[in-house]
Amino acid sequence: MNKPKVSIIVPVYNVEKYLPCCMDSLLNQTFVDIEIILVDDESPDHCPAMCDEYAKQDHRVKVIHKKNAGLGYARNSGLEIATGKYIAFVDSDDYVETNTYQKMYYMFMDTKVDVVFFNYQRFDDQGNTWTKTSIRKKTRYQTKEEIRGLMLDMIANPPKSKLDRDIQVSSCCALYRNDIINRYGLRFKSERELISEDLLFNLYYLLHAVSITFIPDSLYNYRINPFSLSRMVRADSVEKELFYYLYLKDWLNTNKFGLDGYLRATRYFIGESRTCIRQHTKSSLPIQEKMRWLRMIQDLKIWREVAKSYPYWQLPLKYSIFFYLLFKGYSLLLYYYSKMDRIKD
């Protein structure tokens, strides 16, 4: 049997309500030379049986049933058996446009690049949509300097930039070459250990890529799921961001990104921590609990260390004020300031 051109890896966990929409978009692709790898991550609902039924109905569907270990490791399980020349990832509560892989495959044929990235749009169950336009025009990166610059831009912007990050690319908004993934043994980290596994996978991959194309087409549809883990308020959110920051900073240093790497990683950490703090202050938790948590976060010594080495005063005023209140320990002022909508990106 000939190997498929594209392997689509779909981790499945507790999404019986949304899985049919996702699978309809994959089974009805205009590009039929695909395999769909459903990785049942020990889902507690009817998803395991649904996955098996899809495999019975279409020979292109493969199913892995595994012990629960999270999204990153589920994707890795899919990579272990993927036979396609190209690799795609789809989250099982999302869906893709039906011409996605036809467009991507012929883009590879035309450009001979190592990865193609594309845009996405967000939607919710009420029918609202929000288009993300990180990629505004077709762009090609084909020198080592350009690609390393792109990697930094994926992490965060320089201090003076208006937004924390202009380029936000999920691993679900890309088509990768399987030979590069296999040659360098590229795998996802567990999001239970390192909170942003998508960014790290892209950095690992781009370190070995020699040519990249971005296209402005919105081909992926990302569901705003109020019950997803990424939207839960967690008491350890900032500590997890700190652990990730220290890992990212060390990785950039090891790969010789120098001062610019430090500045980008630190802006990423400040921005993500600000998001965590805003989520807590706007949550339904009692104010006493929110204030106790905020004081605990402000006691972390990392803020004083960052204030000494990072030019936070170059940040846009609304962000520099936020960070100043954070590292100075002005809990009550920070609480009310973080509730203001004007400090969103």
Q: What is the pLDDT of residues 33-62, one digit of tens each?
A: 999 999 999 999 999 999 999 999 999 999
**∠ CA 87-90-94, rounded to 5°:** 160
Domain range annotation of the chain: 6-134+169-229, 233-343
Closest listed residue to residue 13, CA positions, set 55, 63, 53, 70: 70
pLDDT of residue 174: 96
CB 115 within 8 A of CB 212: yes
CB 181 within 8 A of CB 88: no
- The radius of gyration of the chain's CA atoms, rounded to the nearest angstrom, is 21
pLDDT of residue 217: 92
CATH number of 6-134+169-229: 3.90.550.10
Band of pLDDT at residue 341, cut at 50, 70 and 90: low
Whether the pLDDT of residue 128 is over 90: the answer is no
CB 150 within 8 A of CB 141: yes
235 φ/ψ angles, rounded to the nearest 5 degrees: -65, -25
Greater confidence (144 vs 134) lies with 144
| Percent of the chain residues topping a pLDDT of 70 | 95
CB 72 within 8 A of CB 5: no
pLDDT of residue 195: 87
**Cα–Cα distance measured from residue 242 to residue 137, given in angstroms and rounded to the nearest whole number:** 34
Burial of 127 (0-12, 13-18, 19+ CB in 10 A): exposed
Whether the pLDDT of residue 190 is over 50: the answer is yes
CB 180 within 8 A of CB 212: no
CB 129 within 8 A of CB 121: yes
Neighbours of 183 (CB within 10 A): 10
Whether the pLDDT of residue 230 is over 70: the answer is no
At which residue do the structure tokens 């025009």 appear? 137
Handedness of CA 14, 20, 23, 25 (dihedral sign): negative
**Cα–Cα distance measured from residue 166 to residue 157, given in angstroms and rounded to the nearest whole number:** 7
pLDDT tens, residue by residue, 67-118 = 999 999 999 999 999 999 999 999 999 999 999 999 999 999 988 999 999 9
pLDDT tens, residue by residue, 167-181 = 888 999 999 999 999
pTM, full prediction: 0.93
